[in-house]
Amino acid sequence: MAHSQSIDKAKILETFPLRQALPAAVSGWTGGREDQVFNRDDIFDYLDGGGEIYLAYDFQFVFVREYVRPDAPSIVVEIYQMSSSQDAFGVFTHDTDGEEMELGQGAIYGAGLLRFWKDTIFVRIMADRETPEAKSVIMEIGARIAAAIPGNGEVPGLIKALQVEGLRPKSRRYFHTLISLNAYLYLANANILNLSPETRAALAQYDREDSTARVILVEYPSAERAADAERRFTEMFLLERYEAGRKMPPKKIEDGHFAGLLRKGTYLIIVIEAGEKPVLDWLIKTISHNLEGGKP
């Protein structure tokens, strides 16, 4: 993930096709404040203290429009332009609580908040408070935006590799850096997996044979960097001596759960919180097989 250069905001306001797709008015709601655009340089002017989550992906800019109507909740439309469909999917997976819907390539709605992704776009539309009419308008605006995005994008390959029996679909996360991992799953107060903008990482939770487990799958730019992360996880999390080339057996940790890992070239498969050792073994074996089979 190489960060994009900041983009001319005036030009976006003039030419952004999805802005043209937005209705000037809908069911009595009309434009409130002037349309705004924030890029990597000034995202904190919009999300003070929250921009880090987007900057952790190759976020290019966000277009923001507000709709208002007297005596009705205001509705804010945010259209995030990412540089890749993988990163649009990744941002979409940041918070998956809500009801899944058919829109774009994946959508979730709950209590006045709609989120969906399609191709390189992530969209977030929220009403101040949910009313039946506001919900209807949110859906209409969402449908217009989705229809104006011409193509579909690829789901990250790592996510496909995690598609095995027992997967909780809404537990899937795709990201690059430590700040994202820490928002989903805390491993340590240091970057023991050597995550960086150049790494691709995915996370998922499984229910299998009355047991649960979590998998972290990371793809590194080189086998050397993957091996270094393998060493660091072995020494700092499993608290075991690392020997290059030696397969580390799963380890039962303090809470009675099992943790283990396998490096496969540039990939590192880590399983934690496994209730049973056979579940850990099965997940590593199956995901490893998926990686061999060219799923990613």
Interface residues toward another protein, by CB under 8 A? 46-50, 52-53, 94-95, 97-98, 110-113, 124, 126, 128-130, 179, 182-190, 192, 235-237, 239-241, 253-256, 272
Identify any residues that bridge with 39 across adjacent strands, giving them in sequence order.
Answer: 61
Residue 156 CB, shortest distance to another protein, in Å, is 20
In this complex, which beta carbon is closest to another protein, that of residue 1 or of residue 114? 114
Which of 261, 223, 258, 257 is closest to 242 using CA atoms?
261
Q: Measured between alpha carbons, how far is 200 from 87 in angstroms, rounded to an integer?
A: 10
In this complex, which beta carbon is closest to another protein, that of residue 71 or of residue 102? 71
Which of 133, 214, 220, 130 is closest to 166 using CA atoms?
214
Which of 185, 198, 157, 194 is closest to 259 using CA atoms?
185
Residue 115 CB, shortest distance to another protein, in Å, is 9
In this complex, which beta carbon is closest to another protein, that of residue 20 or of residue 255? 255
In this complex, which beta carbon is closest to another protein, that of residue 24 or of residue 239? 239
Residue 42 CB, shortest distance to another protein, in Å, is 13
Q: Measured between alpha carbons, how far is 64 from 123 in angstroms, rounded to an integer?
A: 10
- Rounded to 5 degrees, φ, ψ at 193 are -95, 5
In this complex, which beta carbon is closest to another protein, that of residue 35 or of residue 296? 35
- Rounded to 5 degrees, φ, ψ at 261 are -155, 160
80, 167, 179, 182 from 136: Cα distances, Å: 22, 32, 35, 35
Q: Measured between alpha carbons, how far is 18 from 22 in angstroms, rounded to an integer?
A: 7
Opening angle at CA 66, ends 65 and 71, nearest 5: 165
Residue 114 CB, shortest distance to another protein, in Å, is 11
Residue 101 CB, shortest distance to another protein, in Å, is 14
In this complex, which beta carbon is closest to another protein, that of residue 241 or of residue 285? 241
Residue 291 CB, shortest distance to another protein, in Å, is 25
In this complex, which beta carbon is closest to another protein, that of residue 123 or of residue 291? 123
Tokens of 90: 């990744």
Q: Measured between alpha carbons, how far is 111 from 95 in angstroms, rounded to an integer?
A: 14
Residue 241 CB, shortest distance to another protein, in Å, is 6
